[in-house]
Structure 1
Amino acid sequence: MDLAHGALVAILLTMIGVTSSLPRRKHEDKLPLPPGPKPLPIIGNSHRMNTDFPWITYKEWSDIYGDIIYSRMLNQDVIILNSVDVARAILEKRSSNYSDRPRFATMELLGIAFRTVMRSYGDTWRRHRRIYHQAFRPEAAVIYRPMQLRKAHQLLVGLLQEPANYELHLETHSASIIMSAVYDYETKPNDPLVSMIRGAMDIILHAETPDKAAIIDSYPALTLIPAWFPGASFKRHALELKSVLKDMVEKPFQYALDRISSGLSGPSMVSEGLARFQGDASFELAIKESSATAFGAGSETTHSVLLVFIQAMVLNPEVQKRAQAEIDRVVGSDKLPDFGDRVSMPYVEAVLRETMRFYPIVPLGVPHSAVNDDMYEGYFIPKGTSILTNIWAMTHDATRYPAPFEFKPERFFTSSGDLNDDHVTPVWGWGRRICVGRYIADASLWSAIASMLAVFDFLKATDASGKDIDFEPRWTPGITSRPVNFPCRIIPRRRDMDIEKLTSLISTTV
């Protein structure tokens, strides 16, 4: 369902008396909401939106109305936070009131309400969170480092053999880390289990675009429309998804159980959770659901960040050369970087931070919801309002990051040459909902980036005459956003590099 067709259906529903499931209360109209563009009847501010890249619209509005903005998307109240300071004041200092998630009709329709990331703030969510914390807290996350380094080395082999398929190698790399950390599952080329899970995730992401979600969640009666109705593709997606959702949850979990029963299981979130919460049926279900959630949250984001990194290296060769010089100086040419080298390579660290800042791949984060009515700086925030954090605006705030559209890792150094304390924390979320897997994700990103820089040059593609092919970066629309496939050359830094020499480097490092 596109926005125009959905808005038309919404108008018809309004005419016959079917409105939003969250009608506004009379007393709210007497309290000052945050400023924002004046909404039109029924469609709200939808007509003003860049529906593919709404974070850009919200940033433009913040230049007019300030860092906290009120908007309406059809019948949905939305408050957008465009600065780090306001987001911290509301979502962290008042986290008890803002740790909930909005209730989306799309989640129930698609059968994906079990996912931890969108769970309501309550006992079930706390069980999920406890499972993640036990497996991925900083002290526990280090146990996965040998696996992460091994997967980074497998990525190098793939890039050496088939550099043109770089995006597929990144997808495989990201999926293999999550499947290993969560289920102790070793992925294979064209792995059927990974393909099944990724197919389910693609359906979810396609069905959960902001415009579709806004239409359906504003008018839940749309879920009653039959699948054959023109524009009701979301119903067909729902039927398609439900046919694979059970397998997505059950099959990898059963694999992990079989590994545990055989006595062959290595460290994983499932084995850790089952051992710690043995005999508790509610925790077993929570382990299944949180494990299935982890793949989408971890694989998609890691893969996308690494795409941003490669594109940035292609377009900023001077940054690439400086990072490679640091690696050569610290590690030498006879081995590959490992985690023990990380503290000695601050510029590589800055490259990782700048990659996350330059283009946050979940530009509006995951929405929060107000548990109760609240007032902030004289503005009324109604109970149940969706709270969006415009992370893209925060990481492109020129007062915090001068020349924000330039890729400049040096911005993360102090005047004395030390790394500053800016870890680009908005990309990980806020308050009690901050990403609990951020430590393992950070280690996965660092090991991949340091390894790739040590072995490869990332260059512009060339035409038949040998001339560089220039390109303008383009980005995919949606809840998550990453670079559209771009032309590049990935070549070994050493002309004599082959599989035998790379294998030797890997064995020396391990």
Structure 2
Amino acid sequence: MAPAVNAILASFSLSFVALTALRQFTKKRQNNPPLPPGPVPLPLIGNVLSVNSLEPWLTYTEWCAEYGDLIFFRILDEEMVVVNSQPIAEALLDKRSRIYSDRPYLATLEPYGWSVNFAFIAYGDEWRLCRRLFHQTFRPESAVKFRPMQIKRAREMIVNLVDDPQHFHHHFATFSLSVVMSTVYDYNISARDDPMVQIVIDALIPGLTLLTPERSLLLRTFPFLLKVPDWCWGSSIKLGAQASLSRVTKMKNVPFRYVQQHMADGSVSQSSMVAENLRRMEMQEEEDKPAFENALKKAATTAIVASYETTAATLMVFVLAMVLCPDVQKRAQAEIDSVIGRDRLLTFEDRASLPYIDAIVRETFRWQPVVPLGVPHATSSDDVYDGYFIPKGAIITYNTWGITRDEKRYPDASRFIPERFIDADGKLTNDDPAEYIFGLGRRICPGRYTADASTWSAIVTMLATLDISSAKDDQGKVISFTPTFIAGVVRYLPCDLPL
């Protein structure tokens, strides 16, 4: 009986959503300029069957060849616009940021605990407070102060990689979190097996695959799936949400309580983002404190998430590139030897003298972008761009993957070729993927300067001290493998890749 009831409820919910979408779609077409070109939608369900649900950026990039750089389509009642061009994205997200700074509703955020990341919340007073707290610590002037720590931690990472090369992903996670945990919580991560690092990994590895608009549609269309009995078909969604909420809540609260406890017993060794703002909070009116503390927790947790998801995933891509492209590694090491020799390790003062290393960093960002669609935006009002109507509430997806696969801009785009960023004089070109992979507009990643510096310090230190090659079996034979990525908001390589 229960499956039949669920089927009826599902059909009713789907029909209601589809009819609502059709009515809204028809209304918006009246007396407005044409919508951007795109695939013809099916009645009621739109283009839901046409989109690769696991890797939608592949679909959007294919559509670009047929429909152009600005594409409109529908998934059920969701109106979606994909931008496949950096200039158009800058024209909309930067120059019209007043309209394009909101976020779409993601039905997975609250149930899975991810509303704690302020990058996903709606544009408004709460977001502005979170952003201000974050920016105070990670603005460009402050990011420079982290450089000695980034170099120090990069060198510790090398020791770990030499001693325990099999667990390289965990060493990358430790490195990527070390700066932010010290800065935000005054927490000094252990070089190995730190419990706080494991808390973050446990929360993020399964959680980052759940936050795309395409995946949240299931819960938005069928919200009753969060309330079905444990024994019922479909209960795995509810149980997965409960497990994710528990893990993310632990990631939010454990380091925050660490700061509170150390402030209480007077053992805070240095200033930190959380400690400084908790002291400021003591001087506020009592009714303002809960909202401020909540925003502080979100800003602090977002720093953890952003640091881990971008830097650790990017370093995995770099290692894969070095395994597949040994000639690139040799040229990079030759540049390092020619600039500093072998008598010392590198520092940030050497960066300007190592253009090929910077070209490798740029190509690592471009070759396999770890956030292939960025974080989706939403329009807060109707707009018209280049004669096309973009409706209020539309989800705006910035197809970073498609931009990195533009053969006119990046010939042979699927290959790892750092030389594409070096001009005839041996200098870096003006094309820097960091200008688009960290987002655009008011919602651009506020920690991008720290992330870029961490990536550079790790890559240059690895190149200066290690020879990166494929793993070998007990007989000394190279272990063959086919790289596969786990898809989600963040696209990353699995931890057990045999590198």
State whether residues 370 and 490 of structure 2, in contact with CA within 8 Å, keep that contact through their aligned partners in structure 1.
yes
Aligned partners of 2:161 and 2:171 also within 8 Å:
yes
Structure-2 residue corresponding to 1:454: 464
Contact 2:53 2:215 in 1 (8 A): no
Pair 1:264-2:275 in alignment: no
Q: Pick which of 312-321 and 411-420 moved more.
A: 411-420
Q: Partners in 1 of 2:251 and 2:60 — Cα distance? A: 35
Q: 1:102 to 1:349 in 2, by over 3 A?
A: same
- Once residues 182 and 20 of structure 2 are traced to their aligned partners in structure 1, the CA distance between those partners, rounded to angstroms, is 42
For 2:199, the equivalent position in structure 1 comes to 196
One-letter amino acid of the structure 1 residue matched with residue 62 of structure 2: E
Aligned equivalents of 2:490 and 2:8: distance in 1?
27
> How far has the Cα of 1:394 moved from its partner?
0.6
Per-residue CA deviation, residues 204-251 of structure 1 (Å, 9 max, x unaligned), is 324435543122234545545445431242211222233344433222
Q: Which string of whole-angstrom CA distances, capped at 9 and with x for unpartnered residues, describes residues 248-291 of structure 1?
A: 32221121234445253334332344466663424333111110
1:434 Cα offset (Å): 0.5
Contact 1:70 1:77 in 2 (8 A): yes
Matched residues in 1 for 2:219 and 2:269: separation? 43
1:66 is matched with 68
Structure 2 CA distance for partners of 1:120 and 1:483, relative to 1, 3 Å: same
Residue number in structure 1 paired with 2:13:
13
Following superposition, the deviation at residue 386 of structure 1 comes to 0.6
Please, which of 108, 119, 122 is the counterpart of residue 121 of structure 2?
119
RMSD: 2.5
**1:134 pairs with 2:136:** yes
CA contact 1:70–1:79 (8 Å) conserved in 2: yes
Judging changes above 3 Å, is the alpha-carbon distance between structure 1 residues 21 and 207 closer, same or farther for their aligned structure 2 residues? Answer: farther
Deviations 1:189-218 (A, max 9, x none): 333333233323334324435543122234
Q: Distance in 2 between matches of 1:104 and 1:279?
A: 35
Query: Which one-letter code corresponds to 1:452 in the other structure?
Result: M
Q: Secondary structure at the match of 2:108?
A: helix
User: 3-state SS of the aligned residue for 1:70?
Assistant: strand
Q: What residue number does 2:411 align with?
A: 402
Match of 1:302 among 288, 298, 311: 311
Per-residue deviation, 1:48: 1.7
Q: CA deviation at 1:430?
A: 0.8
TM-fit CA distance, 1:435: 0.4
2:237 equivalent among 221, 230, 234: 234
Preserved contact between residue 203 and residue 248 of structure 2 (Cα < 8 Å) = yes
* Residue 163 of structure 1: aligned partner: 165
Count of matched residue pairs: 482
The offset of 1:154, in angstroms, is: 1.3
- Secondary structure of 1:95's counterpart equals coil
Which residue of 2 is the match for residue 97 of structure 1? 99
Equivalent position SS for 2:468: strand
Structure-to-structure mapping, 1:281-360, within 5 angstroms: 281=289, 282-360=291-369
1:359: Cα distance to partner? 0.8
Q: CA deviation at 1:437?
A: 0.3
Once the two structures are TM-superposed, the CA of residue 14 in structure 1 deviates from its matched residue by 2.9
CA displacement, residues 398-445 of structure 1 (integer Å, 9 cap, x when unaligned): 111111111111111223221122221111001011100011111111
C-alpha spacing 1:443/1:376, structure 2 compared with 1 (3 Å): same
| Change over 3 Å in CA distance of 1:327–1:274 after alignment to 2 | farther
Change (3 A) 1:252 1:141: same
Letter of the 1:448 partner, please give it: A
1:13 deviation in Å? 2.1
Tell me whether 59-68 or 457-466 shows the greater mean CA deviation: 457-466
Q: Given that residues 72 and 82 in structure 2 are in contact (C-alpha distance below 8 angstroms), is that contact kept between their aligned partners in structure 1?
A: yes
* Gap change, CA 1:279 and 1:89, over 3 Å in 2: same
Mapped pair 1:150 → 2:161: no
- Counterparts of 1:221 and 1:72 in 2: how far apart (Å)? 23
- Say whether residues 1:369 and 2:378 are aligned partners: yes
Matches within 5 A, 1:35-114: 35-114=37-116
Moved more, 399-408 or 368-377: 399-408
Going from structure 1 to structure 2, the CA distance change for 1:229 and 1:75 (only over 3 Å counts) comes to: farther
**Does the aligned pair in 1 maintain the 2:17–2:77 contact within 8 Å?**
no
Q: 1:383 aligns with which of 356, 378, 392?
A: 392
3-state SS, counterpart of residue 429 of structure 1: coil
Report the CA distance shift for 1:486/1:203 in structure 2 as closer, same or farther (over 3 A). Answer: closer
Other structure's SS at 2:467 match: strand
Contact 1:135 1:273 in 2 (8 A): no
The answer for the alignment partner of 2:3 in structure 1 is: none
Q: 1: CA distance between counterparts of 2:366 and 2:262? A: 39
User: Alpha-carbon deviation of 1:125?
Assistant: 0.7
Are the aligned partners of 1:134 and 1:273 in contact in 2 as well (CA < 8 Å)? no
Q: Is the 8 A contact 2:106 2:213 kept in 1?
A: no
Alignment partner, residue 473 of structure 1 = 483
Distance in 2 between residues matched to 1:227 and 1:83, nearest whole Å = 46
Structure 1 residues 321 and 366: CA distance shift in structure 2, 3 A? same
Q: CA separation in 2, counterparts of 1:20 and 1:223? A: 24
Q: 2:165 is matched by which residue type in structure 1?
A: P
Structure 2: which amino acid aligns with 1:106? T
Equivalence for 2:29: 29
- How far 1:371 moved relative to its partner? 0.2
Task: Measure, in 1, the Cα distance between the counterparts of 2:17 and 2:39.
Answer: 25
Say if 1:19 and 1:218, in contact at 8 Å, map to a contact too.
Answer: no
Gaps of 5+ in 1: 1-5, 489-510
Q: For residues 165-187 of structure 1, give each alpha carbon's deviation from its aligned partner in whole angstroms, at most 9, with x where no partner exists.
A: 21221122223233222212122
| SS of residue paired to 1:24 | helix
Q: Distance in 1 between matches of 2:7 and 2:344?
A: 59
User: Which residue of 459, 472, 497 corresponds with 1:486?
Assistant: 497
**Secondary structure, counterpart of 2:130 in structure 1:** helix
Q: What is the Cα deviation at residue 12 of structure 1?
A: 4.4
Q: Deviations over 1:449-499 (max 9, x none)?
A: 1111111011123456655444443211222112344333xxxxxxxxxxx
1:502 — aligned with what?
A: none
CA shift, 1:9, in A, is 7.1
CA deviation after TM superposition for structure 1 residue 85, in Å:
1.3
Query: In the alignment, is residue 415 of structure 1 matched against residue 442 of structure 2?
Result: no
Greater alpha carbon shift after TM alignment, 151-160 vs 244-253: 244-253
For 1:247, the equivalent position in structure 2 comes to: 250
Q: Give CA-to-partner distance per residue, 1:306-329, whole Å, 9 cap, x none.
A: 000000011111110111111112
Deviates more, 1:32-41 or 1:251-260: 251-260
Give the TM-score normalised by structure 1.
0.88
Identity across the alignment (%) = 44
Cα 1:460/1:238, change in 2 over 3 Å = closer
1:426 counterpart residue number: 436
